[in-house]
Amino acid sequence: MKKHILFVDDESNVLQGLKRMLRGMRHEWNMVFAESGTAALETMAEQDFDVVVTDMRMPEMNGVELLEEVKKRHPETVRIVLSGHSDTKLILKSVRVAHQYISKPTDAGELKDKISRSCALLDLLQNKRLLQLVSNLEAVPTLPEVYMQVVEELEKEEPAIGRVGRIISRDPAMAAKVLQLVNSSFFGIPRHIESPVQAVTLLGLDTVKPLVLAVEVFSKFDSKKIPSRDLERIWDHSVKAGAVAQALAKDEGLDKSLTDDACMAGLLHDLGKPVLMDNFPEDYSKILRTYRKSGGSLYHMEHEAFGVSHAEIGAYLLGLWGLPENIVEAVGFHHTPDQCPFKTLTPLLLVHVANALTQAEAEDRNEDGLIPEIDAVCLERLGLEDRLPGWTVICREVMDMESEG
Ligand SMILES: [Fe+2]
Ligand SMILES: [Fe+2]
């Protein structure tokens, strides 16, 4: 099915340029061009759009104001800014309403790639209510104590950016947000990101401070909805899974970039869980209780209750936020690696294994019921089935180190 894309820019020659640049996509996309925010909203009232790509500085209604309206009226539409301006105030404002930020000048390849990826993601979440909900999520909620640690550090007279980075790198929700900001070139840093710590350092104190204190890009978990112990557990498991995936990647001799991606994907793999917990606290508590009492597969229970699981929700959100494909794929299929065609060892397979091993090694394995099994067929396909005993040893070592802090 053709996807519908709306481009908005007050300069008609820019729109003409986009038309020329993207001519090759006309069989896949139905492209509409609007010369103002008002015209864009009028068009959107008549026709549904999958993606809207807007300029930032426009007379009457600027890009941020337009996207705020789009967010309210058409929550499921993917919102992308394409701008050549570097007005920090406006960029800071756009952080809350734009999913991605592409800086001008851009080439046809980058633009096609980003829009195509956004379109492909839309097919991942087949539940419209969840699609709207996740599309409108500005941040995944995190533990109030950890959030406060970041705020306290930033409020100091001389905050240490390294310390801020280290706190964030152990918190999947905040890590995901900073990775969105750097990967999406909101602040012009398009390059391979090694880790959340590096992402925070690249953003720098001058950007991180207003983002956290004024724009409030991170959000606190409401402990009335779900006990913070549940979130603490997920975070603890996520940090360990990330460290284990990284260690396995190193042991298998994967290159630096894949090793980094495996580590970040491990950290982020269960990001969809707090989204479900926060939005459906009663349903989710019920699922957790059943899971703890009688075991089974949390992944399948979520599918039964919501039509999708935390894996697809996490992948959708991270894809929407412009994180690298390797990470999005690993998060989306960490419970079902067989659904992904792969010919080599990828971050996905490492996260799948790291998730299962860390869960099996965790102290509360009995309380949490069954351990998700490792897909033996996938390992056999790559001739890696004999690696498991060695990987288990590595997992134990990493987890011991993590527990010792
Ligand atoms: Fe999971
Ligand atoms: Fe997990």
**Is the bond leading into 105 cis (omega within 30 degrees of zero)?**
yes
Question: Which pLDDT belongs to residue 5?
Answer: 97
Q: Which ranges of the chain have pLDDT less than 50?
A: 366-371
> How far is the centre of ligand 2, averaged over its atoms, from the C-alpha of 240 (Å)?
10
Measured distance CA(148)–CA(350) in Å, rounded: 33
Instruction: State which H helix or E strand residue 54 sits in.
Output: strand 51-54
Which ligand is in closest contact with the Cα of 309?
1
Predicted local distance difference test score (pLDDT) of residue 130: 87
Considering only CA atoms, which of 111, 12, 84, 5 is closest in space to residue 48? 5
| 8 A C-beta contact, residue 181 and residue 187 | yes
CA 228–ligand 2 middle distance (angstroms): 17
CA pair distance 282, 305, nearest whole angstrom: 12
pLDDT at 121: 86
CA of 269 to the centre of ligand 1 (A): 6
pLDDT tens-digit series, residues 348-397: 999 999 999 998 887 555 344 444 578 888 999 999 989 988 999 999 99
Residue 186 CA, ligand 2 centroid: distance in Å: 30
CA 238 – ligand 2 centroid, Å: 6
* DSSP track, 380-395: HHTT-GGGHHHHHHHH
pLDDT in tens, 132-172: 899 999 999 999 999 999 999 999 999 999 999 999 999 99
pTM of the model: 0.90
- In eight-state DSSP terms, residue 372 is P
What number of CA atoms fall less than 13 Å from residue 176's CA on the CB side? 36
Cα–ligand 2 centroid distance for 269 (angstroms) = 6
User: 3-123 domain in CATH 3.40.50.2300?
Assistant: yes
Q: Looking at residue 84, what is its pLDDT? A: 84
Distance from residue 111's CA to the centre of ligand 2 (Å): 33
Which of the ligands is closest to the CA of residue 337?
Answer: 1
Are the beta carbons of 257 and 192 closer than 8 angstroms? yes
Residue type (1 letter), 206: D
Pick the ligand that lies closest to the CA of residue 237. 2
CA of 232 to the centre of ligand 1 (A): 15
CA of 317 to the centre of ligand 2 (A): 17
Q: What is the DSSP letter of 1?
A: -
Q: Rounded to the nearest 5°, which phi and psi values hold at 6?
A: -115, 125
CATH 3.40.50.2300 domain locations along the chain? 3-123
- Any idea which ligand is nearest the CA of 312? 1
pLDDT value at residue 363: 53
Distance of CA 67 from the midpoint of ligand 2 (Å): 34
Q: Go through 228-253 and write b for each residue having 16 or more CB atoms within 10 A of its CB, e for each that does not.
A: bebbebbbebbbbbbbbbbbbbeebe
Give 356 Cα–ligand 2 centroid separation in angstroms. Answer: 7
Q: Between 3.50.50.60, 3.30.1600.10, 2.60.40.10, 1.10.3210.10, what CATH number should domain 228-404 receive?
A: 1.10.3210.10
Instruction: Give the DSSP H or E segment for 257.
Output: helix 256-268
**Could you tell me the distance, in angstroms and rounded to a whole number, from the CA of residue 177 to the centre of ligand 1?**
19
CA dihedral sign, ordered 91, 95, 96, 97: positive
Q: What is the pLDDT of residue 372?
A: 55
Residues within 5 Å of ion ligand 2 by Cβ?
270, 355
Q: How far is the CA of 266 from the centre of ligand 2 (A)?
A: 8
Query: Separation of 18 CA from ligand 1 center, angstroms?
Result: 40
Q: Are 333 and 340 in contact (CB under 8 A)?
A: yes
Could you give the residue range(s) of every CATH 1.10.3210.10 domain in the chain?
228-404
Amino acid identity, residue 179?
L
Give residue for tokens 């953003």. Answer: 203
Task: Residue 376: count other Cβ atoms within 10 Å of its Cβ.
Answer: 11
352 C-alpha to ligand 2 centroid (Å): 8
Q: How far is the CA of 348 from the centre of ligand 1 (A)?
A: 12
Residue type, 52: V
Q: Looking at residue 368, what is its pLDDT?
A: 44
Q: What is the DSSP string of 205-231?
A: HHHHHHHHHTS--SEE--TTTS-HHHH
Task: State the pLDDT at residue 370.
Answer: 46
Q: How many Å lie between the centroid of ligand 2 and the Cα of residue 17?
A: 45
| pLDDT of 47 | 96
Contact 122, 50 (CB under 8 A): yes
